[in-house]
Amino acid sequence: MNILAALASGLVFGIGLILSGMTDPGKVIGFLDLAGRWDPSLAFVMGGAILVGFFAFKLAGRRGKTFLGGALQLPQRRDIDARLVAGSVVFGIGWGLAGFCPGPALVSFGSGIDQAAVFVAAMLGGMVLFHAAERLLSAR
């Protein structure tokens, strides 16, 4: 059931990304381009998602477990550290360069777009590189 729920969630997420315009890097860059011709659409994507998400997470928190009886596995950390900010800045630079973030890139890869395949391969490489570096540093 868990697997089926995750599959359905991924599918609905992907459909939402396509419908919202997030799979068009030009639209993403249009949103980030405050100095140019600004396309505010993505604020509506965030607004719509958070409006629904807010009540969902409130309900999940109140129940304390899932509707399938499983445990909630939510992040517990509340500290704000340099790592969080630096990592997010590096992510933002990559996002602004190409107009792809992980979700839309994977969906576009699913559409068979070559540029998305290159982006996804590099992104996976970056993740592997990061984990390898972290393991190396923590082993010392």
Kindly identify the residues of this chain, within the stretch 61-100, that bind other proteins according to CB under 8 A.
65-68, 70-75, 77-80, 83-100
Kindly identify the residues of this chain, within the stretch 12-71, that bind other proteins according to CB under 8 A. Answer: 12-27, 29-30, 32-42, 44-57, 59-60, 65-68, 70-71
Counting every residue, how long is the chain? 140
Binding mask 106-125 for other proteins (x = CB under 8 A): xxxxxx-x-x--xxxxxxxx
Are 17 and 104 in contact by the 8 Å Cβ rule? The answer is: yes
Are 108 and 116 in contact by the 8 Å Cβ rule? The answer is: yes
Of residues 42 and 140, the one with the C-beta less far from other proteins:
42
Of residues 76 and 140, the one with the C-beta less far from other proteins:
76
> Within a 10 A sphere around the Cβ of 11, how many other Cβ atoms?
10
Q: Provide the minimum distance between the beta carbon of 121 and other proteins in the complex, in angstroms, as a whole number.
A: 7
Residues 6+ apart with CB under 8 A from 105: 116, 119, 120, 123
